[in-house]
């Protein structure tokens, strides 16, 4: 619980700030990476290549990871005094997660820090400092928001293979080759390159975070270079070596999320009662790709519980009021880094932000992904189109007649709409990565 005095001091200072500047925080989008987890991969000489050091198996949130998100929740509680009610209010916040155990559990830990039950929300006296808060998700193969693209995207594949085949990328490989040769030798893995070094970097970081002593070769300096390469890999895969494909890739990978982020802010303005915070729980690649799309990536791998914050402020001093978007990156517990979103100044007007962001809004999947449209084909074959349309019309008539007959013959039995059946995924499918 918050000491009462402390709370009122913060509230008072917040009110004073608002009066002076005429500015009010009215909305926040939050995109977070999950907290610390167990390793997903291993390597030949890994001294901890032993499942038993990870009691829940690979890729699972650890107690340290829970703590990281709990702490982030407490930080958000302080930051959003005045925006969010002190007690949980379901109409103020909406949480969406990818369908991974570690992101779902991170979101839950986060909410435990943000909304410990107080007063009438206590459901077992003061002996339980937690209350359930809903976390929404969709199956992975339907998650076009946080795991896009979910359908095949030839253009993305083409851009990525172009990037990997480019002379700029070859230069990078060459630059890091002597270092990566050392990594190959030390890890016992053949031909470690920029793309595959992540497996080793990630495994070492999980073990270090968990407090295990790393092999002697994994010095701080080596880890720093591995970090640098992992960060660079995100930059390269989401925009090309010189960021030349940033917009094209962002449109298929981040476009839906960007569109929703803008929509969330607009809704808050047009519909008074809308959510004040929408929080997403996802992965390093989600956080990294959003930062790349926003042209604000620092080329370092997003750490555990890293949080991208996109806030909307309303300035009443002018009429009509001015709306300002501010972006921050919380990649450590110490600093909140100001972001210049999409090349806009730090205090970016909403109109300016939306205009810049709309460049990466998705259009049609087929167009964004370079799938040839059948319409182009038929333009050249008009007579074929005529025959097909005629046949289709005839077929529709016949089917309609048949359906009519059947309905008449049938009793008035209620027909239930069919719903796609989704079995519980097998354990292997659902665990780890
Ligand atoms: C794995 O670790 C456990 C406990 O740390 C140990 O008892 C076991 O022998 C190890 N197994 C292997 C294959 O190293
Ligand atoms: C919850 O938030 C909504 C929207 O801001 C508000 O109308 C409602 O009064 C709040 N409920 C409580 C119990 O504070
Ligand atoms: C509820 O509170 C009682 C004591 O008041 C405690 O013994 C019990 O463990 C609590 N239950 C939960 C689920 O925390
Ligand atoms: C590779 O490792 C050796 C020592 O084993 C070291 O002298 C050398 O500087 C390392 N090279 C790079 C590029 O890190
Ligand atoms: C956080 O970002 C800042 C600015 O880009 C960078 O200097 C710092 O090293 C980052 N910290 C971590 C832990 O990634
Ligand atoms: C952004 O706006 C705030 C308040 O209006 C002001 O204090 C701050 O200096 C501005 N920051 C930048 C980088 O312009």
Ranges of each domain in the chain: 23-39+56-149+249-365, 154-246, 376-409
Q: Is 46 a catalytic residue?
A: no
Q: Find out whether the beta carbon of 50 lies less than 6 Å from any atom of ligand 1.
A: yes
pLDDT tens by residue, 307-317:
999 999 999 99
pLDDT value at position 427? 66
pLDDT value at position 421? 72
Ligand lying nearest the CA atom of residue 226: 4
Q: How far is CA 353 from CA 39, 244, 311, 395, 415, in A?
A: 38, 21, 12, 50, 49
Ligand 2 pocket list (CB less than 6 A) = 85, 89, 91-92, 273
pLDDT value at position 285? 97
pLDDT value at position 431? 54
Does the N-terminal peptide bond of residue 149 adopt cis geometry, omega within 30 degrees of 0?
yes
Produce one character per residue of 361-398: b if its CB has 16 or more CB atoms within 10 Å, e if not. bbeebbebbeeeeeeeeeeeeeeeeeeeeeeeeeeeee
Out of 248, 284, 295, 368, the active site residue is: 284
Cβ count near 172 (within 10 Å): 17
In angstroms, the CA 299 to CA 319 distance is 40
Residue with tokens 């808050």: 268
Q: Is 299 a catalytic residue?
A: no
Contacts of 382 (CB under 8 A, 6+ apart): none
In angstroms, the CA 307 to CA 337 distance is 10
Q: Phi/psi of residue 370, each to 5°?
A: 65, 35
Out of 34, 41, 235, 283, the active site residue is: 34
Distance 70 CA to ligand 5 centre (A): 21
Distance 179 CA to ligand 4 centre (A): 7
Q: Which of 337, 338, 339, 340 to mutate to test the pocket of ligand 5 (most atoms within 8 A of CB)?
A: 337
Contacts of 7 (CB under 8 A, 6+ apart): 81, 86
Taken in order 194, 196, 198, 204, the sign of the CA dihedral is: negative
For the chain, list residues with pLDDT below 50.
Answer: 1-20, 411, 414
pLDDT value at position 388? 85
Distance 222 CA to ligand 6 centre (A): 39
Distance 268 CA to ligand 2 centre (A): 14
pLDDT value at position 322? 95
Q: Find out whether the beta carbon of 161 lies less than 6 Å from any atom of ligand 6.
A: no
Q: Find out whether the beta carbon of 17 lies less than 6 Å from any atom of ligand 6.
A: no
Nearest C-alpha to atom 10 of ligand 5 is from which residue? 331
Taken in order 413, 416, 421, 423, the sign of the CA dihedral is: negative
pLDDT value at position 408? 65
417: left (phi over 0), alpha (psi -120 to 50) or beta: beta
Whether the CB-CB separation of 362 and 252 falls below 8 Å is answered with yes
Q: Find out whether the beta carbon of 397 lies less than 6 Å from any atom of ligand 6.
A: no
Q: Which CATH superfamily is domain 23-39+56-149+249-365 in?
A: Phosphoglycerate mutase-like (3.40.50.1240)
Q: Which of 347, 352, 353 to mutate to test the pocket of ligand 6 (most atoms within 8 A of CB)?
A: 347
Q: Kindly report the pTM of this predicted structure.
A: 0.86
Q: What is residue 23's DSSP assignment?
A: E
- Which stretches of 241-345 are DSSP H helices? 246-253, 255-270, 284-293
Whether the CB-CB separation of 348 and 312 falls below 8 Å is answered with no
Contacts of 14 (CB under 8 A, 6+ apart): 81, 82
Q: Find out whether the beta carbon of 52 lies less than 6 Å from any atom of ligand 1.
A: yes
Atom of ligand 5 at shortest range from CA of 298: 5
pLDDT value at position 2? 39
């Amino acid at each position: 619980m918050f000491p009462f005095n402390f709370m009122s001091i913060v509230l008072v200072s917040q009110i004073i700030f608002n009066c002076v500047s005429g500015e009010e925080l009215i909305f926040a989008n939050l995109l977070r990476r999950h907290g610390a987890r167990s390793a997903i991969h291993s390597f030949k000489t890994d001294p901890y290549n032993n499942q038993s050091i990870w009691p829940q198996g690979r890729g699972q949130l650890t107690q340290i990871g829970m703590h990281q998100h709990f702490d982030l929740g407490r930080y958000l509680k302080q930051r959003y005094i005045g925006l969010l009610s002190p007690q949980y209010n379901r109409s103020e916040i909406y949480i969406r997660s990818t369908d991974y155990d570690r992101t779902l559990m991170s979101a839950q830990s986060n909410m435990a820090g943000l909304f410990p039950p107080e007063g009438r929300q206590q459901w077992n006296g003061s002996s339980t400092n937690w209350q359930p808060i809903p976390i929404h998700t969709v199956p992975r193969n339907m998650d076009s928001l946080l795991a896009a693209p979910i359908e095949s995207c030839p253009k993305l594949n083409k851009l990525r293979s172009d990037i990997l085949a480019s002379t700029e990328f070859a230069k990078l490989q060459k630059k890091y080759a002597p270092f990566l040769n050392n990594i190959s030798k030390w890890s016992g893995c053949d031909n470690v390159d920029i793309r595959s070094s992540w497996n080793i970097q990630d495994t070492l970081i999980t073990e270090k975070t968990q407090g295990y002593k790393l092999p002697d070769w994994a010095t701080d300096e080596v880890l720093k270079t591995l970090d640098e390469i992992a960060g660079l890999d995100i930059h390269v895969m989401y925009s090309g070596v010189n960021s030349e494909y940033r917009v094209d890739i962002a449109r298929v990978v981040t476009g839906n999320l960007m569109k929703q982020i803008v929509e969330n802010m607009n809704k808050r303005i047009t519909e008074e009662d809308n959510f004040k915070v929408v929080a997403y729980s996802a992965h390093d690649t989600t956080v990294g790709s959003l930062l790349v799309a926003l042209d604000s990536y620092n080329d370092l791998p997003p750490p555990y519980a890293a949080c991208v914050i996109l806030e909307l402020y309303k300035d009443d001093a002018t009429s009509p009021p001015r709306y300002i978007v501010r972006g921050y990156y919380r990649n450590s517990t110490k600093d909140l880094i100001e972001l210049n979103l999409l090349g806009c100044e730090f205090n970016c007007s909403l109109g300016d932000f939306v205009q810049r962001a709309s460049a990466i809004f998705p259009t049609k999947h087929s167009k964004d992904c370079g799938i040839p449209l059948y319409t182009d084909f038929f333009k050249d074959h008009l007579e074929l189109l005529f025959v097909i349309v005629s046949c289709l019309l005839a077929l529709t008539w016949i089917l309609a007649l048949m359906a009519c007959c059947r309905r008449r013959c049938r009793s008035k039995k209620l027909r239930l709409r069919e719903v796609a059946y989704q079995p519980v995924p097998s354990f292997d499918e659902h665990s780890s990565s």
